[in-house]
Chain A
């Protein structure tokens, strides 16, 4: 491809990615839900932050995403270690099973879970929501961690041990620092997947547990005004903060490389 054509494709691609931002951000300051915005006002931000429903929504979403990200990073990392480092019978099967929520439509998972919860009467409130989310976010952690562990050279651990480090010291000084990138990446993917999840939440959340996407979805059925754009901006800012944090911790380029590897 000639240089100008490559540049053109790249330009179109970037515009395509940026359109939602270009639209959402100005509209969130608009009086009416029109583009270009017909005024500059913070009115809808005021409405958003004084709405009990939305406030509760983002607080639940944030809390849930943090708990879910921690839990699925822990579970997913252990599962990846089990699958990659030990000769467990049926390990390929176990791995596929853990990864299956990536392939099974979320609607199917959602319906399955709702039947399961209704039939067994198990798990209420937060627990139910967390478990449901962990099921769909763990595969991201497992993918990233299996890739990380696959690339991990075990002779590094032997070298450390040869130099006098006990198993615990080896884990702390060699294993953990090297797989840290993978752990952080897994955490972020899990966080994002939980934070923006609508389908599963819509099926399993009990009254009073409306996450931000669920609240928003319910809202746009009845009304359409710039508050939708406000929510979008809030979500963009939220996820950007997480990415920024990740960049501080390990560097964004390394995360992206891992995502490709995964």
Chain B
């Protein structure tokens, strides 16, 4: 498998502050890698270093086997879509898309053909003569920006939160559209986002960053199901964090309303027996049992939220812990606030958080 992008020991410091701290990763050809993290985690700085707008303090950047660390942005052959799209307001859609080709001194006939192709790629045929910033909607502008970045046939596509300025419904549509297009073209893509749902649904792999560091890199399923740290578990998706005591290497005990419930964990833990640990449990992996059963965790329903396809409950199991539980709506009798709820948790699905 060819590697299209290599970052090795990449760092960027501003004075004493480290914006990016020793990040190393490889991106394979055709992959969609999302850089995910809260604002200020260094994801945008990393992307801007790849594009060449920020010079790294240390480390190397290789694109298609070529060391580009010292190469100016205009000779890196990356295609970038900016957060605000950065469409040239004094040019039409056609001129915007043709810009990179004109700079490359392509033949006018070639430019015309490629611009047409790019327009149809993003389903904007017939919009070529408009002025994008005045005459197009946000979603259309985003597609023009995408076409402009793709038409130069870049080695890597760089996307800097290109959906963050759009409303939720449109964002979802464009998400699907973009990832379809990316798969069809097979173009290696780096996507910066703080939206974990977007990252989960679109990526081949996700790199989770926090405070300038790369915390974990893996497929969406790996990141979601086996988060490396408490930060990752908490940042990606919803998770309940419950205090428990380790009875032996594979058994943890949770104190709840009805007494102590012991869970058999999926794997051995390295911490010593008797210590207090934190367990992470995803809301969808907690089952509400109507009726009595052995080994349930009991609590009181504090809040019920109806979402149509699912119902979310907040269940207090002791004075300091409230669990979020989501249940598919299969027309079962919903619980009411104040009801006693029996929760079934499979110990194998619990994450021991570090």
A residues lining the B interface (CB < 8 Å): 153, 155-156, 158-166, 169, 173-174, 177-178
Report which of A156, A158, A163 forms a contact with B103, defined as CB distance below 8 A. Answer: A163
Q: Does B104 contact A (CB under 8 A)?
A: yes
Contact status A162-B79, CB under 8 Å: yes
Instruction: Name the distance in Å between B9's Cβ and chain A's nearest Cβ.
Output: 25
Q: Does B231 contact A (CB under 8 A)?
A: no
Q: Does B73 contact A (CB under 8 A)?
A: yes
Given A158-B51, A163-B103, A169-B103, 17 additional A-B pairs, CB 8 A: A153-B86, A155-B84, A156-B86, A158-B53, A159-B87, A160-B99, A161-B52, A161-B53, A161-B72, A162-B80, A162-B149, A163-B100, A163-B148, A164-B75, A166-B74, A173-B99, A178-B90
The answer to whether residues A164 and B90 also contact, given A153-B84, A155-B84, A159-B80 and a CB cut-off of 8 A, is no
Q: B311-352: which residues lie under 8 A (CB-CB) from chain A?
A: none
The CA of A162 and the CA of B99, in the complex, are separated in Å by: 11
The CA of A166 and the CA of B103, in the complex, are separated in Å by: 9
Binary A-proximity of B45-75 (CB < 8 A = 1, otherwise 0): 0000001110000000000000000001111
The CA of A32 and the CA of B80, in the complex, are separated in Å by: 71
Q: Does B127 contact A (CB under 8 A)?
A: no
Q: Does B78 contact A (CB under 8 A)?
A: yes
The CA of A174 and the CA of B152, in the complex, are separated in Å by: 18
Q: Does B235 contact A (CB under 8 A)?
A: no
The CA of A155 and the CA of B162, in the complex, are separated in Å by: 13
A165 neighbours in B (Cβ, 8 Å): 74, 99, 103
Instruction: Name the distance in Å between A174's Cβ and chain B's nearest Cβ.
Output: 6
Contact status A158-B104, CB under 8 Å: no
Chain B interface bracket (under 10, 10 to 19, 20 to 34, 35 or more): 20 to 34
B84 neighbours in A (Cβ, 8 Å): 153, 155
Residue of A nearest to B80 (CB): A162
B104 neighbours in A (Cβ, 8 Å): 164
Residue of A nearest to B104 (CB): A164
Question: How many cross-chain pairs have Cβ atoms below 8 Å apart between A and B?
Answer: 62
Binary A-proximity of B89-111 (CB < 8 A = 1, otherwise 0): 11000000001100110000000
Contact status B80-A178, CB under 8 Å: no
- A-B contact list, 8 entries, CB within 8 Å: A153-B84, A156-B86, A159-B148, A161-B53, A162-B73, A162-B74, A166-B74, A177-B90
The CA of A243 and the CA of B74, in the complex, are separated in Å by: 39
B149 neighbours in A (Cβ, 8 Å): 162-163
The CA of A158 and the CA of B86, in the complex, are separated in Å by: 8
Contact status B152-A164, CB under 8 Å: yes
The CA of A213 and the CA of B240, in the complex, are separated in Å by: 81
Residue of B nearest to A166 (CB): B74
The answer to whether residues A178 and B89 also contact, given A162-B79, A164-B103 and a CB cut-off of 8 A, is yes
The CA of A164 and the CA of B99, in the complex, are separated in Å by: 9
The CA of A178 and the CA of B89, in the complex, are separated in Å by: 8
Instruction: Name the distance in Å between A215's Cβ and chain B's nearest Cβ.
Output: 43
B99 neighbours in A (Cβ, 8 Å): 160, 163, 165, 173
The CA of A161 and the CA of B82, in the complex, are separated in Å by: 13
Residue of B nearest to A164 (CB): B103
Instruction: Name the distance in Å between B72's Cβ and chain A's nearest Cβ.
Output: 8
Most chain A beta carbons < 10 A, residue from B86, B87, B99, B152:
B86
Contact status A158-B73, CB under 8 Å: yes
Residue of A nearest to B48 (CB): A158
Residue of A nearest to B81 (CB): A159
The CA of A78 and the CA of B66, in the complex, are separated in Å by: 38
Contact status B100-A156, CB under 8 Å: no
The CA of A16 and the CA of B175, in the complex, are separated in Å by: 58
Residue of A nearest to B151 (CB): A163
B89 neighbours in A (Cβ, 8 Å): 156, 178
B152 neighbours in A (Cβ, 8 Å): 163-164
